[in-house]
Amino acid sequence: MAEPARVSSMADVATLAGVSVSTVSRALRGSELVSPETTARVQAAAQELAFAVSRAASSLATGRLNRIAVLVSGSLGAWFNGTLLDVIYGCLHRRGYELMIFRTFSAEDRDEFFATLPARRNADALIVASLELTGAQRQRLHDLGMPLVYVNQTVRGSASVAIDDVAGGEVAARHLINLGHRRLAFVRNHPRGGHNHSSDGRLTGFHRAVRAARLPTSEQVVLSGSGNADGERIVGQLLAQSELPTGLVVESDELAFSLLAALGRVGLRVPADLSVIGFDDHAMAATFGLSTIAQPLDLLGHEAAALALALVDGERPRRRNVTAPTELRLRETTGRPPEPAQPN
Amino acid sequence: MAEPARVSSMADVATLAGVSVSTVSRALRGSELVSPETTARVQAAAQELAFAVSRAASSLATGRLNRIAVLVSGSLGAWFNGTLLDVIYGCLHRRGYELMIFRTFSAEDRDEFFATLPARRNADALIVASLELTGAQRQRLHDLGMPLVYVNQTVRGSASVAIDDVAGGEVAARHLINLGHRRLAFVRNHPRGGHNHSSDGRLTGFHRAVRAARLPTSEQVVLSGSGNADGERIVGQLLAQSELPTGLVVESDELAFSLLAALGRVGLRVPADLSVIGFDDHAMAATFGLSTIAQPLDLLGHEAAALALALVDGERPRRRNVTAPTELRLRETTGRPPEPAQPN
DNA sequence: CTGTTAGCGCCTTCAA
DNA sequence: TTGAAGGCGCTAACAG
């Protein structure tokens, strides 16, 4: 940049408007203390210079960053992350807050985050989204001394917003059972080592429904891939069964899509031969007619943002731990099982 | 927050380490001027206090924000935005830069952005991603006096990274023509009023291929929906034709998915009755076997970030206008036309 | 209603 | 190799 092209600051605006810097500061923030004429003059000057406040300087002076950090795991392009961030962005923007993103892919990323704590002193609050954390890590976040909100994860002593994965998994399975299915499978995904609370919860719900219906446990199976595109592998496991399950409860829609495509390739018809229900209500679920358990990302995002902002404002929100409802969204991939249910 | 829980600053670290603030500042940034022992002592103190630098203060002092802003249009969860942001985030993070997002949905959002210019003085550079701008708006961005990089949009006098939409559209159509198709349709999307350069370019390429092959122009049609989920409507337009096209070039994969689902519903088989090729190589394209023209988002993101960083560092990058290649990705939705091509 | 005066926490001279 | 001093641009008292 040959010519630094000095960008105007409040001092320039002040000079142009013929007032002091303080007045500019007040006027631009709409203080009642400034006369309408002065305010107008200041605004005109600011406009003319295309002046924009330096948030860095302002933050330094006030101690408020006007920025909320969100820690996510996995690609920003992943459906869950992208959608959640979008909702949160909207809420924050409306309130004059910025969104700051921290992404972690690997355990190393996580370690780096916890070693450097970049959110500290650089955001007014931290939202932790769907991230599996160790106890020590949670403690460290707690010790940060900044407002903290967890999404899809309930942590003692911290604010949180989450869906009930167990209930969702239970409804998914129960709905198939009520349609007459007797042999079910739960399909899950075991990515890059480590637990996944959501997945675990959904499976727990699945088992609960199976038990409640007194279905023979031996006929209910759990299939697992190692990625959301692992449909082929799962179909392989499926076809290896002595008797094919007629209903599949899939941990997530993304995995269900892959499965659906793989089923189509081997000629299994859905739902004629096999019913499939996903989980999430991914944007593409409606397009492809996938029955699913909808997760209210809108609500999760809104509540998370609202909680964060409330905590920043020093409020004690009435409900620090919000549970958002899931909902069965029936479409075209689930139906009655192929043969009449045989009474065992 | 009952107890403000004063978070430690450099002064605290300095006290604990028994040195001056300047030394802490230098040590923490790895200055060669500080003795190894002192550095170690400072680091230990910082560690103990869980100290993190206030970027606001640091920015104010240096005049560098260490932050790049990205202006996008539409949801952060949209495939293009999410994926691009993810790539850019990675590049920036590696270089110690933050990502700051500005999202615009509507014309009003855009107006707000241009009225308040929030990126000004709050980021070191601005990346404008796939956004249709008026001349006045581009001028205003230019006048911002900050490094500017456009993605998928070429602007005179500014750095840019873009794919060749025309070439992509041409290849898509040509490939169908070479497979024997004679009646083609281009399927596009006319969202919330206004042009779309990408779409226009792809259509231009389509026409070019048609002309080069000397296909009867009257038999090539353009179908259009008003949203990426408008497959049904397009199938309606399709079935209203006196003679069905056998090959469909669809402006984007997302629209193609919706179309594919709608075609399935009316019983049209792909590619037996109809070939479909999309554009983008959306994450789901591989899953569903959609043939498509791949857009190298990775490359676009990397180059955009690299250009922005280079400009921030005052470098004159050799290539200010990068064109990224598209690539035909053949999968299962395109094949030979149903009947033998009839020589006109 | 407006101006003056001090910092906010860090980085960068300049001295030592 | 380290410390002291000043200032980045803004806001928040405190005067007037």
pLDDT in tens, A60-78: 999 999 999 999 999 999 9
Nearest-nucleotide field for B20 (CA, C1'): D3
Using CA atoms, how far residue A180 sits from A78, A176, A260, A266, B16, in Å, is: 35, 7, 21, 24, 70
- Which tokens belong to B42? 């400072």
Mean pLDDT value across chain A: 92
How close does chain B come to A67, measured CA to CA in Å? 11
Dihedral sign of CA atoms A268, A272, A274, A275 in order: positive
Check whether residue B10 has its CB closer than 7 Å to nucleic acid strand C: yes
Query: What is the CA A198 to chain-centroid distance, rounded?
Result: 12
- Mean pLDDT along residues A273-295: 96
Contact A303, A322 (CB under 8 A): yes
Nearest-nucleotide field for A17 (CA, C1'): C2
Check whether residue A126 has its CB closer than 7 Å to nucleic acid strand C: no
pLDDT, position B6: 67
pLDDT, position B193: 53
Q: A229: pLDDT confidence band, cut at 50, 70 and 90?
A: confident
A117 contacts in B (CB within 8 Å)? 50, 52
Check whether residue A61 has its CB closer than 7 Å to nucleic acid strand C: yes
Torsion of CA A98, A99, A100, A106, to 10 degrees: 180
- Rounded to whole angstroms, the Cα distance separating B271 from B280 reads 19
* Inter-chain touch A85–B76, beta carbons under 8 Å: yes
Check whether residue B31 has its CB closer than 7 Å to nucleic acid strand C: no
pLDDT, position B340: 59
Strand pairing class (A291-294; A327-329): antiparallel
- Rounded to whole angstroms, the Cα distance separating A100 from A93 reads 12
Using CA atoms, how far residue A221 sits from A186, A257, B72, B311, in Å, is: 6, 20, 45, 57
- Which tokens belong to A54? 């330096």
Helix (H, G, I), strand (E, B) or coil at A118: coil
The string of pLDDT tens digits covering residues A151-181 is 999 998 899 999 999 999 999 999 999 999 9
Which residues 68-107 of A are in CB contact (within 8 Å) with B? Answer: 75-79, 81-86, 89-90, 93, 98-101, 103
Token pair 């036309």 is at which residue? B337
- Rounded to whole angstroms, the Cα distance separating B6 from A12 reads 34
- Rounded to whole angstroms, the Cα distance separating A161 from A129 reads 10
User: How many of the other CB atoms lie within 10 Å of CB of B195?
Assistant: 9
Supply the pTM of this predicted model: 0.94
Q: A341: pLDDT confidence band, cut at 50, 70 and 90?
A: very low
Check whether residue B25 has its CB closer than 7 Å to nucleic acid strand C: yes
Cβ–Cβ contact A52 with B under 8 A: yes
B103 contacts in A (CB within 8 Å)? 86, 89-90, 93
pLDDT, position B319: 83
To 5 degrees, how large is the angle CA B44–CA B49–CA B54?
A: 105
pLDDT, position A1: 36
Least confident of A54-58, A210-214, A336-340: A336-340
pLDDT, position A255: 95
Give percent of chain A above pLDDT 70: 95
Check whether residue B22 has its CB closer than 7 Å to nucleic acid strand C: yes
For A105, which DSSP code? -
| CB-neighbour burial class of residue A320 (10 A; exposed 0-12, middle 13-18, buried 19+) | middle
Nucleotides of D under 7 A from a protein CB: 1-13
**Which portions of chain B are predicted below pLDDT 50?**
1-4, 341, 343-344
pLDDT, position B182: 95
Q: Considering only alpha carbons, which residue of chain B is nearest residue A287?
A: B258
Q: Which helix (H) or strand (E) holds A169?
A: helix A165-178
- Rounded to whole angstroms, the Cα distance separating B54 from A296 reads 35
pLDDT for residue A206 is more than 60 = yes
Across the interface, which of B143, B283, B311 has its CB nearest the CB of A50? B143
Cβ–Cβ contact B247 with A under 8 A: no
pLDDT, position B27: 96
- Rounded to whole angstroms, the Cα distance separating B234 from A304 reads 39
* Inter-chain touch A56–B122, beta carbons under 8 Å: yes
Check whether residue B61 has its CB closer than 7 Å to nucleic acid strand D: yes
pLDDT, position B192: 59
pLDDT, position A16: 93
Strands (E), chain A: 67-73, 98-104, 125-129, 148-151, 159-163, 184-189, 221-225, 247-250, 275-280, 291-294, 321-324, 327-329
Q: Considering only alpha carbons, which residue of chain A is nearest residue B73?
A: A86
Best probe of the B interface among A43, A86, A116, A269, by most B CBs < 10 A, is A86
- Rounded to whole angstroms, the Cα distance separating A233 from B200 reads 41
To 5 degrees, how large is the angle CA A69–CA A130–CA A101?
A: 25
- Which tokens belong to A70? 């969100």
A119 contacts in B (CB within 8 Å)? 52
- Mean pLDDT along residues A186-204: 82
Q: A233: pLDDT confidence band, cut at 50, 70 and 90?
A: very high
* Inter-chain touch A121–B314, beta carbons under 8 Å: no
- Rounded to whole angstroms, the Cα distance separating A275 from A337 reads 7
